[in-house]
Amino acid sequence: MFELDQFIADCRAALTSDAPHKAVREVVARAVSEPAAVLRALGEPRRAELRKLYCSGELTVLNVVWAPGMTLLPHDHRMWA
């Protein structure tokens, strides 16, 4: 079962590991392995949006809902994402 507060806590804990990008990737992979649970927790998308779910100096969690036909050119965040 996906719970947003636990997901954020797990991501924050992953940041303290020796390889934080890999640890966060594992947390995200576990979460998206149950898409129905994520949908229940975050709600059914009604429109395209970029919603900030959590933000601190070390971590930002976004819920991105992509619209049909929407495109984005390649770009560099200058960080691991």
Question: Each residue of 43-79: pLDDT tens digit?
Answer: 999 999 999 999 999 999 999 999 999 888 888 887 7
In this structure, is residue 24 part of a structural domain?
Answer: yes
In this structure, is residue 11 part of a structural domain?
Answer: yes
Would you mind telling me the total number of residues written for the chain in this entry?
81
Specify the number of domains making up the chain.
Answer: 1
In this structure, is residue 44 part of a structural domain?
Answer: yes
Judge contact between 7 and 63, C-beta under 8 A.
Answer: no
In this structure, is residue 80 part of a structural domain?
Answer: no
In this structure, is residue 71 part of a structural domain?
Answer: no
In this structure, is residue 14 part of a structural domain?
Answer: yes
Instruction: Give the model's pLDDT for residue 76.
Output: 83
Structure-derived torsion over alpha carbons of residues 29, 5, 62, 10, reported in degrees to the nearest 10: -40
Check: pTM over 0.95? Answer yes or no.
Answer: no
Structure-derived torsion over alpha carbons of residues 60, 47, 39, 78, reported in degrees to the nearest 10: -20
The whole-angstrom distance between residue 55's C-alpha and the CA centroid of its chain comes to 11
Instruction: State which residues form the domain around 36.
Output: 4-65
In this structure, is residue 70 part of a structural domain?
Answer: no
Decide if pLDDT at 1 tops 70. yes
pLDDT higher at 30 or 72: 30
